[in-house]
Amino acid sequence: MADKPRIKLPKEAKKGEIIQIKTLVSHLMESGQRKDAQGKPIPRKIINKFSCEFNSKPVFSCALEPAISANPYIQFDARIDEEGTFRFAWTDDDGSVVTAEEKIALKA
Protein backbone atom coordinates (compact mmCIF):
# COMPACT_ATOMS: atom_id res chain seq x y z
CA MET A 1 0.00 0.00 0.00
CA ALA A 2 2.31 2.75 1.18
CA ASP A 3 5.86 3.42 2.20
CA LYS A 4 6.79 3.92 5.83
CA PRO A 5 4.85 6.95 7.09
CA ARG A 6 6.63 10.08 8.28
CA ILE A 7 5.68 11.32 11.73
CA LYS A 8 6.90 14.43 13.50
CA LEU A 9 6.26 15.05 17.19
CA PRO A 10 8.44 16.09 20.13
CA LYS A 11 10.43 13.38 21.92
CA GLU A 12 9.38 14.87 25.26
CA ALA A 13 6.83 17.33 26.66
CA LYS A 14 5.82 18.82 29.99
CA LYS A 15 2.78 17.36 31.72
CA GLY A 16 -0.33 19.15 30.39
CA GLU A 17 1.49 20.55 27.36
CA ILE A 18 -0.32 20.61 24.02
CA ILE A 19 1.90 19.30 21.25
CA GLN A 20 1.55 19.37 17.49
CA ILE A 21 1.66 16.09 15.57
CA LYS A 22 2.32 15.93 11.84
CA THR A 23 1.96 12.83 9.67
CA LEU A 24 2.49 12.09 6.00
CA VAL A 25 2.03 8.78 4.23
CA SER A 26 2.99 8.02 0.62
CA HIS A 27 -0.04 6.82 -1.33
CA LEU A 28 -1.36 7.46 -4.86
CA MET A 29 -4.96 7.97 -3.67
CA GLU A 30 -6.68 6.91 -6.90
CA SER A 31 -10.24 8.32 -6.85
CA GLY A 32 -11.75 5.77 -9.26
CA GLN A 33 -12.96 8.52 -11.57
CA ARG A 34 -10.03 8.55 -14.01
CA LYS A 35 -9.54 6.28 -17.02
CA ASP A 36 -6.41 4.55 -18.28
CA ALA A 37 -4.96 4.86 -21.81
CA GLN A 38 -7.46 2.28 -23.10
CA GLY A 39 -10.42 4.21 -21.64
CA LYS A 40 -11.08 1.73 -18.82
CA PRO A 41 -11.84 3.12 -15.37
CA ILE A 42 -8.92 2.96 -12.93
CA PRO A 43 -10.25 1.28 -9.76
CA ARG A 44 -10.60 3.41 -6.65
CA LYS A 45 -7.81 2.88 -4.12
CA ILE A 46 -7.61 5.44 -1.33
CA ILE A 47 -6.76 5.59 2.32
CA ASN A 48 -10.26 5.97 3.71
CA LYS A 49 -9.52 6.22 7.45
CA PHE A 50 -6.81 7.62 9.69
CA SER A 51 -6.67 7.12 13.46
CA CYS A 52 -4.32 7.93 16.31
CA GLU A 53 -4.31 6.49 19.82
CA PHE A 54 -2.19 7.39 22.83
CA ASN A 55 -1.67 4.58 25.34
CA SER A 56 -4.64 2.76 23.73
CA LYS A 57 -6.97 5.79 24.11
CA PRO A 58 -8.37 7.52 21.00
CA VAL A 59 -6.81 10.92 20.27
CA PHE A 60 -7.86 11.75 16.71
CA SER A 61 -9.50 10.03 13.75
CA CYS A 62 -10.93 11.09 10.41
CA ALA A 63 -12.50 9.65 7.30
CA LEU A 64 -10.77 10.47 4.02
CA GLU A 65 -12.67 10.84 0.76
CA PRO A 66 -11.57 10.51 -2.90
CA ALA A 67 -10.99 14.27 -3.20
CA ILE A 68 -8.02 14.11 -0.78
CA SER A 69 -4.63 14.58 -2.42
CA ALA A 70 -2.03 11.92 -2.97
CA ASN A 71 0.37 11.45 -0.06
CA PRO A 72 -2.07 12.71 2.57
CA TYR A 73 -0.65 15.06 5.19
CA ILE A 74 -2.52 15.25 8.49
CA GLN A 75 -1.75 17.63 11.35
CA PHE A 76 -3.44 17.80 14.75
CA ASP A 77 -2.76 18.67 18.40
CA ALA A 78 -2.76 16.47 21.49
CA ARG A 79 -2.43 17.18 25.21
CA ILE A 80 0.22 15.16 27.04
CA ASP A 81 -0.57 14.18 30.62
CA GLU A 82 1.71 11.14 30.84
CA GLU A 83 4.51 9.51 28.93
CA GLY A 84 3.57 6.83 26.49
CA THR A 85 3.19 5.70 22.91
CA PHE A 86 1.23 7.14 20.03
CA ARG A 87 -0.09 4.54 17.60
CA PHE A 88 -1.09 5.69 14.12
CA ALA A 89 -3.11 3.70 11.55
CA TRP A 90 -3.96 4.39 7.92
CA THR A 91 -6.63 2.06 6.45
CA ASP A 92 -6.87 1.48 2.68
CA ASP A 93 -9.96 0.56 0.63
CA ASP A 94 -8.65 -2.99 0.29
CA GLY A 95 -8.53 -3.38 4.09
CA SER A 96 -4.76 -3.16 4.39
CA VAL A 97 -3.49 -1.05 7.27
CA VAL A 98 -0.19 0.80 7.65
CA THR A 99 0.75 1.42 11.27
CA ALA A 100 3.46 3.37 13.03
CA GLU A 101 4.35 4.14 16.64
CA GLU A 102 6.19 7.01 18.33
CA LYS A 103 7.02 7.39 22.01
CA ILE A 104 7.00 10.56 24.04
CA ALA A 105 8.52 11.11 27.48
CA LEU A 106 7.67 13.66 30.17
CA LYS A 107 10.12 16.48 30.86
CA ALA A 108 11.23 16.73 34.46
6-15 per-position pLDDT tens digit: 999 999 999 9
Asked, for residue 71, whether it belongs to a domain, the answer is: yes
The fraction of the chain above a pLDDT of 90, given in percent, is: 73
Total count of domains within the chain: 1
Q: Is residue 105 part of a domain?
A: no
Query: Residue 1 pLDDT > 70, yes or no?
Result: no
Nearest to 1 by CA among 64, 69, 67, 48: 48
Structural domain includes residue 38: no
Q: How confident is the model at residue 2 (pLDDT cuts 50, 70, 90)?
A: low
- Rounded CA-CA distance 31/29 in Å is 6
Q: Rounded to an integer, what distance in angstroms lies between the CA atom of residue 88 and that of residue 41?
A: 31
